[in-house]
Amino acid sequence: MTLQEIAASLPGYEPESLCLERACAFIARALPPPSPARERLPLQALLGRVLAEDLISPINVPAHDNSAMDGYAFSGAELRPGQPTVLRIAGTSLAGDEPTGPLAAGQCRRIMTGAALPPGLDTVVPQELVQRPDGEHILIPADALKPGANRRLAGEDLARGEQALAAGRVLKAPDIGLLASLGQTEAAVSPRLRVALLSTGSELCAPGQALQPGQIYDSNRYTLTALLQRLGCIEVIDLGLVKDEPAALREAFAEGVARADVLISSGGVSAGDADHTKRVMADMAETGELLFWQLLMRPGRPLALGRLPRADGTAALLFGLPGNPVAVMVSFYALVREALLRLAGATPAPLAMLRATSLQGLRKKPGRTEYQRGIVSRAPDGGWQVETTGDQGSGILSSMSRANGLILLAHDQGSVAAGEAVDVLPFDALM
Residue 128 backbone phi and psi in degrees, to 5: -75, -10
**Cβ neighbours of residue 350 under 8 Å, at least 6 residues apart?**
none
Query: Using the rule CB under 6 A, is 300 a contact of ligand AMP?
Result: no
Nearer CB in complex with ligand AMP: 70/251:
251
CB of 15 to ligand AMP, least distance (A): 17
CA 142 from centroid of its chain's CA atoms: 50
Single residue of 34, 118, 168, 201 touching Mg ion by CB under 5 A: 201
Nearer CB in complex with ligand AMP: 270/369:
270
The item of ligand AMP, Mg ion, none sharing an interface with residue 34, based on CB under 5 to 8 Å by kind, is: none
Query: Using the rule CB under 5 A, is 155 a contact of Mg ion?
Result: no
The item of ligand AMP, Mg ion, none sharing an interface with residue 266, based on CB under 5 to 8 Å by kind, is: ligand AMP
The item of ligand AMP, Mg ion, none sharing an interface with residue 232, based on CB under 5 to 8 Å by kind, is: none
Q: Which residues pair with 306 in a beta bridge?
A: 290, 318
Nearer CB in complex with Mg ion: 71/268:
268
Single residue of 53, 78, 157, 203 touching ligand AMP by CB under 6 A: 203
For residues 108 and 129, the answer to whether their CB atoms sit within 8 Å is no
Nearer CB in complex with ligand AMP: 232/323:
323
Fill in the per-residue mask, 378 to 417: x = in contact with ligand AMP (CB under 6 A), - = not in contact: -----------------x----------------------
The item of Mg ion, ligand AMP, none sharing an interface with residue 118, based on CB under 5 to 8 Å by kind, is: none
For residues 422 and 409, the answer to whether their CB atoms sit within 8 Å is yes
CB of 405 to ligand AMP, least distance (A): 22
Largest separation between any pair of C-alpha atoms in the chain: 94
207 cis-preceded (ω within 30 degrees of 0): no
Q: Alpha helices, DSSP H only, in 65-219?
A: 173-181
Residue 91 backbone phi and psi in degrees, to 5: 80, 180
Query: Using the rule CB under 6 A, is 266 a contact of ligand AMP?
Result: yes
Distances (CA, A) of 251 to 44, 244, 254, 329: 38, 12, 5, 26
Single residue of 3, 130, 171, 204 touching ligand AMP by CB under 6 A: 204
Residue from 152, 241, 161 nearest 196 by CA: 241
For residues 57 and 162, the answer to whether their CB atoms sit within 8 Å is yes
b/e string for 66-85 if b means 16 or more Cβ within 10 A? bbebbbbbbbeebbeeeeeb
Residue 194 backbone phi and psi in degrees, to 5: -90, 120
Query: Using the rule CB under 6 A, is 154 a contact of ligand AMP?
Result: no
The item of ligand AMP, Mg ion, none sharing an interface with residue 299, based on CB under 5 to 8 Å by kind, is: none
Q: Which stretches does DSSP call E strand in 76-175?
A: 85-93, 107-111, 123-126, 137-140, 151-152, 163-165
Secondary structure element (H or E) that encloses residue 262, with its range: strand 262-266
Single residue of 71, 268, 300, 405 touching ligand AMP by CB under 6 A: 268
Single residue of 184, 202, 219, 404 touching ligand AMP by CB under 6 A: 219
Query: How many residues of this chain interact with ligand AMP, rule: CB under 6 A?
Result: 18
Span near Mg ion by CB under 5 A; candidates 102-110, 160-168, 195-203, 291-299 = 195-203
Nearer CB in complex with Mg ion: 118/268:
268
- By CB under 5 A, name the binding residues for Mg ion: 201, 267-268, 323
Applying CB under 6 A, the residues found at the interface with ligand AMP are 199, 201, 203-204, 216, 218-220, 266-268, 270, 273, 322-325, 395
